[in-house]
Structure 1
Amino acid sequence: MTMPSERPLTERKLTHSTFELEREYKAPVAKVFQAFADPAMKSKWFDGPEPWRLIESALDFREGGREVNEGRFGPEGLVSRFDGTYHEIVENLRIVYSYEMRVDGARLSVSLTSIVLTPTDAGTRLTLTEQGVYFDDLDNTEQRIEGMREALELIAPVVE
């Protein structure tokens, strides 16, 4: 990955996008909400996959609260960092937060995300909408959609 400081100014750019994902869970809304609110539950699905190793994790799940999740991919690999702030939390209904993603200190993106939980006959429908700005082609919408889709899948075994 070429870091932004190594690129000529003419190659620096911003890309914007908005996407929406839906996922159904066979669990009550309150349990799906807890998968975001409870640090022990969240670590089961939000910490990175093997060979990712946790460096720092903190969750202050309240309006104005912060969340950090940082880890390294393997013993010599890249370090990824999620750094978020919660703007609105309505228990069992919605969560709105913004976050910055970095890899090895380089900012990849800044996003605003909303999660809406809706009861269904089978359990809960989660609707995630994200508006992002991606810096200097270090990340893109397709990668983010895939990453978010994988994260939403990892919630299922925690709540169902």
Structure 2
Amino acid sequence: MTRSPETPPDVRHERIVIDRPYDATPAQVFAAWASPEAKRRWFANDEEWENLEYRLDFRVGGQEFDRSRPRNGGTLHQYDGRIEDIVPDARIVIAYTMSLDGQRISSSLLTLEFQPRTNGTRLLFTEQIAILDGADSATSRESGWRSVLDKLEAALRHDRGSTA
């Protein structure tokens, strides 16, 4: 969405919370976010999306970058993150921006908490998002993240099957 010089900039602040159980240990779920090879499998690969570039330097201050577009053509999506905090097997905090076709649409702080539960892990996913110039919505972003978290579940299930 291109803003004319006469239109004042707009920012909307939203919060997304997703409380999601996984049938895997906190260490396994954490590792799926922390390992560049593991995360690439579920975060940056999809039969519907063409991944153009993905990299992850998992350490405090490290960068994460993903650039992709729908396989049938369309808008280029870019995720550009910086890891702000890591507590092994317990928490990851990432500050990231999203851009569509080179235009920044949001800036977010994402907190992932990996909490043990009887049969696995409770992932508490909290995103504080600044949506810029009406170019995105919390509803759309939450829907996208839920789809990504479904892929994480499938990857964890696949990993359990291959080690059983």
TM-score by length of 2: 0.90
**Cα offset for 1:8?**
4.7
1:115 alignment partner, one of 112, 115, 123: 112
State how far apart, in whole Å, the 2-side matches of 1:142 and 1:11 are. 24
Runs of 5+ in structure 1 lacking a partner?
none
The residue type equivalent to 2:98 in the other structure is: M
Superposed CA offset, 1:27-85 (max 9, x none): 11111001101112111211153332111111000000000000122364211000000
Contact 1:23 1:125 in 2 (8 A): yes
The answer to whether residue 37 in structure 2 is matched with residue 10 in structure 1 is no
**In structure 1, which of residues 14, 22, 37 is the aligned counterpart of residue 34 of structure 2?**
37
Matched length: 157
The 1:85/1:127 distance shift into structure 2, 3 A limit, reads same
- The 1:11/1:123 distance shift into structure 2, 3 A limit, reads same
Matched-pair identity in %: 36
**Alignment of 1:132 onto 2:132:** no
Q: Which amino acid aligns with 2:105?
A: L
**Which residue number corresponds to residue 145 of structure 1?**
142
CA distance in 2, matches of 1:9, 1:83: 29
Unaligned runs of 5+ in 2: 158-164
Pick which of 25-34 and 36-45 moved more. 36-45
SS across alignment from 1:116: strand
- Coordinate RMSD, CA, aligned: 1.5
Q: Whole-Å Cα distance in 2 between the matches of residues 13 and 93 of structure 1?
A: 35
Number of the residue aligned with 1:105:
102
- CA change 1:69–1:111 in 2 (3 A) is same
| Inter-partner Cα distance in structure 2 for 1:31 and 1:10 | 47
SS at match of 1:151: helix
Equivalent residue of 2:27, what SS?
Answer: helix
Q: Distance in 1 between matches of 2:108 and 2:153?
A: 24
Report if the CA contact (8 A) 1:21-1:129 is conserved: yes
Which residue type is aligned with residue 9 of structure 1? E
Amino acid across the alignment from 2:85:
E
Paired amino acid for 1:49: D
Q: Secondary structure at the match of 2:136?
A: coil
Aligned-pair distance for 1:11?
A: 5.8
- Higher mean Cα deviation, 91-100 or 47-56? 47-56
